[in-house]
A and B are shown apart, each in its own frame.
Chain A
Amino acid sequence: MTSLDSPAIKKNMSVSVIMFTVVFALIPALIAQIGFFGLQILGNLIIGISFALILEAVCLKLRHYPIKPFLKDGSAFLTAWLLIISIPSSTPIWVMLVGLFFSIVISKHAYGGIGSNPFNPAMIGYAVLLISFPKIMTNWPSAEYFDFNNFLNFSQLFSMFTSLDVVDGIVSATPLDEIKTALFLGEPIKNSFSFFDQFNAYQIMSIFYLIGGLYLMIKKIITWHLPVSLILSIFLFSFILHQINPDVFMPSLFHLMNGATFLAAFFIITDPVSSPTTLNGKIIFGVMVGLITVIIRNFGGYPDGIAFAVIFMNIFVPLIEKFTQPKVFGYE
C-alpha cells in the first residue's frame, strides 16, 4: 500500500506522542517522590528503564520486528517507569530487574507484543514482586517531610548498588499497611494514629497524580470514564463500609488519598491495550476495579489491592466489551 491511499492527510499523532505525554504527566509526582524519598528513585528509573529498553530490543530482535520504530513507541519506557515508581525506591536492584523482566518479556512480548497483551504489563511485574518479596515491597523509606536537600544528595542516586538489602530502621510501613496491621491485631483504628494532621508523602503524590491525570484528560490522551468510575467506586464502597463500622473501616477520603488510587485511576487502568474499548465497558471496568480494591484492602491479605484488582478485571475485558457494544448510527 502506498502512502497516498486515502486519506492523504493525517493528524500529527503517534503512539510515541501518546506514551511520552503520559510520561510527562508523571513528572510532577516524580518530583514529589524525590522530595520525600530521596534521589534514589531517579537512579532506579535510569537503570531500570535502560534495562527495560534492552529487554525490549532483544525481544524485538528475537521476534524479527524492526527495533527502531518499536523502541521509539515509548511503551517499554512507560511500563518500566510505572513499575519503578510503584515499588519502594529502597528495593534491591535485582528485585527491580526481575519485575521488569516479567513486565516486558513475559506479560508483553510472550503474549504478542504491544497491542496484544491481555494484562497490564506494569501490574504483572508489580504483582510478581509483591507475591515473591512481600517484605521488601511493603517497606517504604520513611518520609516525614518534603526535603529540598534530597534533590542535591547525589550519593543517593545509585545507592541501590551499595545497599543490597533493606536496612531496618530507615523504613516504615505505608499508611495502608499500618491499617492492615492494626486490623490484623484487632486494634481500633482511631486510636492507632491520626491521618489528617498533615499531608503525608502519599497524599501529596496522590494530588500530583491527579494533576497529571487532568492534564492527560485536557490533552485528550485519556477520557474521563476510567478514572472517574474508579475513583467514585472506591469512594462509594469504602463509604458504605465506613458507615457500617467506622471503628474497623477507614473513611473514603483515606482510601482515596493513600495507596495507589490516583496513580491507578489516571495512569494504570488507562492502559488502552488491557482495558475495555467501549465507553460503558470502561465504566464497568473502573467500578469493578474499585470494588475489588476496597474488598482486598479491607478483607484481603494485602494492604493495597489495586494491582490484583486490575489484573483480575483484565480477564473480563473481552466479555465486558462483548456486552457493551454501542449501537451503530441508524440502529438505535
Chain B
Amino acid sequence: MNITDKIFKFFGGIKPEGHKQISTRNPIKRLPLPKELIIPIRQHVGKMPNIIVKIGDRVLKGQILAEPVANLSAATHASTSGYVKEIKPMNIPHPSGLPDQCVVLETDGKDEWISLEKIDIENISVSNLLEKLKHSGVVGLGGATFPSHIKLNTNRIETLIVNAAECEPYITCDDMAMQEMTQDFVDGINLIMHILNIPKTIIGIEDNKPQAISKLNSVLSGSKNIQLKIIPTVYPSGDEKRLIYLMLGVKIPKEKRPTEFGIQVFNVATLISIARFINYGEPVISRVVTVTGALSQPNNYLALIGTPIQQLIKDAGGDPSQEVIMGGPMMGFKLPHTDVGVTKAMNCLLAVTDEMKSKASTEMPCIRCTKCVEVCPAQLQPQELYWHAKSKQFEKLTDDYKLFDCIECGCCSYVCPSNIPLVQYYRYAKSEIREQSKSSEIADIARDRNEFRLFRLEREKKERAERNAQRRAQVSDEDKKKLIDEKKAAIEAAMKRVAENEE
C-alpha cells in the first residue's frame, strides 16, 4: 500500500473547529428497543414505494413494508418485529416541514428476523444482484440517499473512491463505523470491486481520524489494490467532486458524472450496508447516527430506522426543548419538528449550541472583500452571484457566473464579514430560475400547440380544396355535358314556369 502518493489540493475551503472528539470518546451505543418506531416510507431520492402491509399486520424484522415501484426507487423495511399500528402522513425530518406517509410500528420486543438469505456473489448475474439490491433498501447513507443499485448499474469503472473524508464538523459516524465495523467496511469495498470488476480503490480519509486510519492500515496491509489516502482536514473535502480531485487530480464539471470519467464514489456507511446485505442478507434497518452538540454525553448510536430522535437526544443528555440540526453545522438544516424517526439520511443530530444561537446575524452590505472567493471550492465568484441574485439578473447568474455549479457548502457564508446569508440567496435564485424555466417550458408547449393547430387548420383547408379539385377533375367530359344540359333544361323549365305565372 502506498500512502505517499500525491494529494491534489483543491482551491478554497475552510478549516472550522472540528468538535469531533466529544462524540468519539465512547464506542457506538445501542438503545433498548423503542416501544414505537416511526418509519417514513420514502427515505431515498426517487419514486415513493408502494406500501404492501396494512394496519394490524404482524411484521418481522427485515420484512419489506413498501416495495420499489420504478428503477429510481428503493424498498423500506421493518426495523424490528411488531405490529403495524398506523399508516398515515406524519412529520418527517425534512427541511420543508411537510408531512409524508409513515408506518408506525408497535414493537413486540422479540426482535424476530425474517429468514435471511446471503447472496452467493460468485453465482449470481449482475442483473439479478441489482434487482435484489433494489429490494435491500441500500441507498447512499452519506446523506444523498440515492439508490445504490443504480450507481452499480455500470461497467466502465476503473477507480472506486471511498468517501471517508467526513469533513463536516461534529459528525463522527463514519469514523466510528470504520473503527468498529472495519471488516464489513473492507468487505463492502471488495464486493463492489468484484461486482463491477474495478481494479483499484482509493479511500480518502481526513487526517483527523488517527484511530480509524491505524485500524484500516493494519487491515489493509498487504492489499495491493486498495489504497488509503490521508488528506488534510479541509472542509468540504468530502464533497464528491472535490474528493475525486483530491484523489486523482480530475476536475469534473457540474454537468458531467464521475462515471463518465471511469470513477464511482461510495460512502463508508453505504459500503457497510452493502456488505451486510450481500454477506448476511440484512436489508438496511439501522444506521450509525452521531448525536452531539450541546449535550452532556454526546455519542454515536447504532439506531434502528424509525427510532424517535427524542430518545436518542435524551440518552445523550439532552432535553426535548432543544433545537436540533440534522446533518452537520455547515450544510445541515434545523429540524422543523423533533417528533420524527431516524431515517437513512440522518448521519447526525446536532443539538444547537449557544455559539450557533449567538451567531452574528445583522446583514451588512457586501464590501467586495472577496473572502468568499478565496474559500469557494467551486471557484465561483460568490460576491457576483450575490449581487446578481439580489438584483434578479438570472441570465447572468446561469450563463456568466455558473450559479448551478454552486454546491451550497456554505464556505462563503462562513467567512463573510458582512454576515450575508449567501447560500440562502443562491437557493432562492436557483428555485426562481427553475420555476421560470418550468413556466417558460409550459409556454413553449402552448405555443407549439397553437402553431400546430394553425398548421393543421391550414392543412385541412388545403386538403379540402385538393379533394374538391380532384373530384371536379374526375368528372368526365360527357358527364359534364350531361350535367350542363340538365342544368340548362332545369333553367328553361323554371323560366317557363315564371312566364306562365306572369300571364
Contact = CB atoms under 8 A, between A and B. Distances in A.
A4 B410 CA distance: 12
Contact of B251 (A75, A114, A330): A330
Interface in A8-25: 8-11, 13-15, 17-18
B380 A328 contact: yes
Contact of A11 (B10, B11, B16, B370): B16
Interface in B417-449: 417-419, 421, 423-424
Nearest to A68: B362
B364 A73 contact: yes
A115 B366 contact: yes
Contacts of B333: 6
Given A113-B365, A115-B365, A331-B402, A11 B253 contact: no
B356 A4 contact: yes
B14 A11 contact: yes
Contacts of A70: 364
Given A327-B379, A329-B379, A331-B253, A8 B369 contact: no
A116 interface: yes
Contact of B417 (A3, A13, A329): A13
Contacts of B357: 3-4
Chain B residues touching A, range:
35 or more
A7 B424 CA distance: 10
Interface stretch (B50-58, B175-183, B272-280, B322-330): B322-330
A329 B251 contact: yes
B352 A8 contact: yes
A197 interface: no
A328 B378 contact: yes
Contacts of A113: 365
A168 interface: no
Q: Determine which residue in A13, A73, A278, A326 has the highest number of CB atoms from chain B within 10 A of its CB, and name it.
A: A13
B240 to A, nearest CB: 12
Q: Is the interface of B mostly helix, strand, loop or mixed?
A: loop
B241 interface: yes
A7 B256 contact: no
Contacts of B368: 115, 272-273, 277
B421 A1 contact: yes
Interface in A258-278: 272-273, 277-278
B331 A7 contact: yes
B120 interface: no
B410 A7 contact: yes
Closest 6 A/B residue pairs (Cβ)? A330-B253, A115-B365, A7-B410, A3-B361, A8-B329, A272-B369
5 contacts: A4-B334, A6-B330, A7-B414, A278-B373, A331-B402
Given A4-B352, A8-B350, A113-B365, 9 more contacts: A3-B361, A5-B423, A7-B410, A9-B16, A10-B414, A15-B367, A115-B418, A325-B381, A330-B405
Interface of B: 10-11, 14, 16-17, 169, 241, 251-254, 256, 323, 325, 329-334, 350, 352, 355-357, 359-362, 364-371, 373, 377-381, 383-384, 400, 402, 405, 408, 410, 413-419, 421, 423-424
